[in-house]
């Protein structure tokens, strides 16, 4: 049964003067969000931000304990699935008004040594799964006349680095998928954008810092400043909450004309 939802049009702008205003309802009150890779890092921050804005969040992750704990914390629903199996997408809810495609994995090796099965796995998780999720959820957004798709891309969706062929390929593909959805979905009140951060302080990156420090015999601070952020003008890691705030902004009432774009959060990397 279809639940009651907010009217399809965007809310009117608040008054800038006059009598005191009645507090507005939460930004995403009555909306449903689906976030993949939601149990940690960027995904966790996005799930928390969307829930704080009033959305019911489907927390999708393969880490069962972490997903269930977060869902309980934010009043959402946990879906413990392995997105490397494309068939599991059909077990996920199709009623999301907001989709955040965030799940990702990494493998670093030169092309001539890159394991083909690992390359294929990364494309399944980071390209095919977002496609399947959108194929499942877009019809409902179209029917309701409103929706927000936010794909967590990367500076590597816009630039390349050596030894990351699978990741760079996947992120470039995700950028392309996002643009196609933007063109197809515009007439239905649905936007599609990428948020493309540089290095974010996530468990994955923290592990990379420690590994590179050991490998190169340098301090972790030098790994961050001299290796990871060499091409960035701002020499500090991005916090997951900052990425989540950008995602939430793209879901707001003043961004209905922002679609088919990539919001860079790379500290000036792509300006170099």
Q: What is the mean pLDDT of residues 38-67?
A: 97
Q: Rg for the chain (alpha carbons), in Å? A: 19
Whole-model pTM: value is 0.88
What's the mean pLDDT when you consider all of the chain?
A: 91
> Region 99-111: what's the mean pLDDT?
95
Q: Which residues pair with 190 in a beta bridge?
A: 147
Protein fold of 32-200+238-264: Rossmann fold (3.40.50)
pLDDT at 21: 56
The pLDDT value recorded for residue 226 is: 78
* Active-site residue identified among 142, 163, 167, 199: 167
Range scoring the smallest mean pLDDT among 100-109, 145-154, 172-181, 222-231: 222-231
Domains of the chain, by residue range, sit at 32-200+238-264
| Predicted pLDDT of residue 237 | 92
Burial 65-97 (b: 16+ CB within 10 A, else e): ebbbebbeebebbbbbbebbeeebbeebeebbb
| Better-predicted residue by pLDDT, 86 or 127 | 127
Q: Mean pLDDT highest for which of 14-23, 193-202, 222-231?
A: 193-202
How confident is the model at residue 124, as a pLDDT? 98
CA dist 152 and 203 (Å) reads 16
Question: Are the CB atoms for 45 and 244 separated by under 8 Å?
Answer: yes
User: For the residues 218-225, what does the mean pLDDT come to?
Assistant: 86
| Distance, CA of 225 to CA of 232 (rounded, Å) | 9
Active site residue 142: no
pLDDT score, position 16:
47
Q: List, as own/partner pairs, every contact residues 172-175 make where C-beta atoms lie below 8 angstroms and the sequence separation is at least 24, other chains included.
A: 173/123, 173/126, 173/127, 174/101, 174/126, 174/127, 174/130, 175/151, 175/262
Task: Identify the pLDDT of residue 20.
Answer: 52
């Amino acid at each position: 049964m279809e639940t009651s939802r907010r009217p399809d049009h965007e809310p009117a702008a608040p008054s800038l003067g006059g009598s005191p205003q009645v507090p507005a309802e939460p930004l995403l009150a009555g909306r449903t969000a689906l976030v993949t890779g939601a149990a940690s890092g960027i995904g966790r921050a996005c799930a928390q931000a969307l829930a704080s804005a009033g959305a019911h969040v489907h927390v999708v992750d393969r880490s069962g304990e972490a997903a269930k704990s977060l869902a309980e914390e934010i009043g959402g629903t946990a879906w413990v699935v392995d997105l490397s199996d494309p068939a599991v997408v059909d077990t996920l809810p199709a009623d999301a008004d907001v989709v955040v495609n965030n799940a990702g994995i990494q493998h670093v090796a030169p092309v001539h040594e890159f394991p083909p099965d690992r390359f294929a796995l990364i494309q399944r998780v980071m390209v095919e799964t977002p496609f399947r999720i959108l194929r499942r959820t877009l019809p409902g957004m179209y029917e309701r006349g409103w929706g927000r798709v936010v794909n967590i891309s990367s500076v590597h969706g816009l630039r390349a680095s050596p030894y990351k062929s699978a990741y760079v390929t996947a992120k470039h593909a995700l950028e392309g998928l996002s643009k196609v959805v933007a063109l197809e979905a515009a007439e239905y009140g649905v936007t599609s954008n990428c948020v493309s951060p540089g290095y974010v302080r996530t468990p994955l990156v923290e592990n990379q810092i420690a590994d590179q420090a050991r490998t190169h015999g340098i301090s972790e601070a030098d790994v961050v400043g001299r290796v990871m952020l060499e091409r960035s003008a701002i020499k500090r890691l991005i916090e997951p909450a900052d990425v989540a705030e950008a995602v939430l902004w793209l879901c707001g009432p003043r961004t209905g004309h922002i679609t088919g774009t990539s919001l860079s959060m790379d500290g000036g990397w792509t300006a170099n």
